[in-house]
Amino acid sequence: MNDGALLDVDGLTVGFNTEHGFIRVVEDVSFAIAPGETLGLVGESGCGKSVTAQTVMRLLPSPPSRIDAGRILFDGENLAAVPERRMRRIRGDRIGMVFQEPMTSLNPTQRIGAQIAEPLMLHRAMGHAAARAEARRVLEQVGIGNAERRLDQYPHELSGGLRQRVMIAMAIICGPKLLIADEPTTALDVTIQAQIMALLQQLQKDLGLAILLITHDLGMVAELCRTIAVMYAGRIVETGPASAVFKGPRHPYTAGLLASSPRRVSKGERLPSIPGLVPPPGLRGIGCSFADRCSRVTERCRTELPRLAAVESHAAACWNPVS
C-alpha cells in the first residue's frame, strides 16, 4: 500500500479460461502512480502490459478473463471489486484512455463533435449545446486548428495524427486524474509521434494528469516517464526511476533490451541480441521465465522464482543481477 498514490496496483494476477484450463498472463504485478506522475509500463509483445492496462480499466470481458488475485486501488476505491455499473461511471470520467489505433476506437459513423461531447453528456448530464462548446474548447486545447469545422467531420476525414488528438480530447474532456495511454504513438510516423508526445507533456503540466503509459519504446519512456516498470512474461522484472534503470539496468532482460537497440552499436558490429523466444503463458515454468534466454542463468533461476528486490537505486527480480 502506497499512501498518497492515485493508482495503486497490488499483486494483480489476471488470467484467461482456455481449453487448457485457467492460464495466467499477468502475475503478481504491483505498481503505484502518484497524482501528476507518469509511469511507463514497457515490454515486448505478449508480456502482459496491455492486459494489465485493460484490467485497470476493467475492459476485458469476464469470462474468459478473470482477476485471480490483487487489488487495483484508484483514489482509494478497489476497481478489481467494483461492479460494471460503477466502473462505467469511472471510465471516461476520472480515468481517460487513449489506444494505439484511433480508427478502431472512434465510431466511423458519428461526427467528431458528438463523440467528443458524449462523455460530458453521459457523466455530467450536460446539454447538447454546452457539451458542443466544451468539445470545441478541448479540441483547441489538444492543438486542433479550425475546431468548429472539425466538430462536424467524420473520423475518416482526419489524418492519423489528428485522430489521435481527437482520442486525447475525448479522454480528457471530463478532467480525469489519470490517463491510460496504450501505445498512443505506435501507429504514427515519427514526426507525428513527436507532436503527440509534446502534447501529452503539455497536458500533463497544464492539467496535473497522472499518466500510465504502455509502450514498447524505451526512448519514449525515457523522455516522458519518471518511473519505469519493465515487464517480461507477465511479471514486472525491473522497476524504479527511469533514469536509474536506463543508466544501470540490473535485470539481464532490461540490459539485453537496451543493448540490442541498433542506435548504440556502430555499423559492422553485431547487435547484441537475446537468443530464443518468450515462453508462452502456461509454459513459463516454476523459476524465472527468462532463464532459458539468459546468459547469467544459475541453477537457482530454474527452480525458484525471483521476486522484486532492492538493487541500490531501484528493484529487480533476479537471482544474479547485472552489476
Partner 1 sequence: MTAVLEARHLSKTFPARDGKGVVRAVNDVSITVGEGETLGIVGESGCGKSTLARMLLRLIEPTSGEILFLGEDLLALGPSGMRARRRDIQIVFQDPYASLDPRMSVAQIIAEPLDIHGIGSRAERREKVRALLDLVGLDQGAGGRYPHEFSGGQRQRIGIARAIALEPKLLVLDEPVSALDVSIQAQIINLLDDLKGRMNLSYVFISHDLSVVQHVSDRVLVMYLGRVVELGPAQQVLEAPLHPYTQALVSAVPEIDPQQRKARIILPGDPPNPEHIPPGCAFHPRCPKAIGICKTDMPVARNGETHSAACHLL
What string marks each residue from 223 to 242 as x (binds partner 1 by CB under 8 A) or -? x-------------------
Coil, helix or strand at residue 70: strand
Nearest approach, Cβ of residue 6 and partner 1 (Å):
25
Interacting span for partner 1 (CB under 8 A) from 30-38, 88-96, 258-266, 311-319:
258-266
**For residues 40 and 226, what is the distance between their CA atoms, to the nearest angstrom?**
8
Q: Which of 193, 227, 254, 289 lies at the binding interface for partner 1 (CB under 8 A)?
A: 193
Query: Using the 8-state DSSP alphabet, how is residue 182 labeled?
Result: E
Does residue number 261 form part of the binding site for partner 1 (CB under 8 A)?
Answer: yes
Does residue number 129 form part of the binding site for partner 1 (CB under 8 A)?
Answer: no
Cα 237 from chain centre:
16
Does residue number 157 form part of the binding site for partner 1 (CB under 8 A)?
Answer: no
**For residues 221 and 213, what is the distance between their CA atoms, to the nearest angstrom?**
8
Q: How many residues bind to partner 1 according to rule CB under 8 A?
A: 41
Sorted by sequence, the CB contacts under 8 Å of residue 10 that are 6+ apart come out as: 1, 30, 70, 71, 72, 73
Does residue number 101 form part of the binding site for partner 1 (CB under 8 A)?
Answer: no
Interacting span for partner 1 (CB under 8 A) from 58-66, 113-121, 166-174, 269-277:
269-277
Comparing CB distances to partner 1, the nearer of 130 and 198 is: 198
Contact between residue 100 and residue 58 where contact means Cβ atoms under 8 Å apart: no
Backbone angles phi and psi of 165, in degrees to 5: -65, -40
Interacting span for partner 1 (CB under 8 A) from 13-21, 53-61, 119-127, 155-163:
155-163
Q: Which of 133, 222, 244, 322 lies at the binding interface for partner 1 (CB under 8 A)?
A: 222
10 Å Cβ neighbour count for 35?
14
Cell (9 digits) for 233: 512474461
Q: Which of 107, 128, 208, 271 lies at the binding interface for partner 1 (CB under 8 A)?
A: 271
Does residue number 283 form part of the binding site for partner 1 (CB under 8 A)?
Answer: no
Q: Which of 270, 283, 286, 323 lies at the binding interface for partner 1 (CB under 8 A)?
A: 270
State yes or no: cis peptide before 155, omega within 30 of 0.
no
Nearest approach, Cβ of residue 162 and partner 1 (Å):
7
β 7-18/178-182 pair status: unpaired
Q: Which of 198, 307, 309, 313 lies at the binding interface for partner 1 (CB under 8 A)?
A: 198
Interacting span for partner 1 (CB under 8 A) from 20-28, 64-72, 89-97, 268-276:
268-276
Comparing CB distances to partner 1, the nearer of 94 and 216 is: 216
Does residue number 192 form part of the binding site for partner 1 (CB under 8 A)?
Answer: yes
∠ CA 61-65-71, nearest 5°, is 100
Coil, helix or strand at residue 144: coil
Does residue number 189 form part of the binding site for partner 1 (CB under 8 A)?
Answer: yes
Q: Which of 62, 78, 202, 273 lies at the binding interface for partner 1 (CB under 8 A)?
A: 273
Cα 266 from chain centre:
31
Strand order in the sheet with 210-215: 95-98, 178-182, 210-215, 38-42, 227-232, 235-241, 314-316, 309-311
Q: Residue 32: beta bridge partners?
A: 8
Q: Give residues in contact with partner 1 (CB under 8 A).
A: 44-45, 159-162, 189-195, 197-198, 216-220, 222-223, 243, 246, 256-258, 260-263, 265-267, 270-275, 277
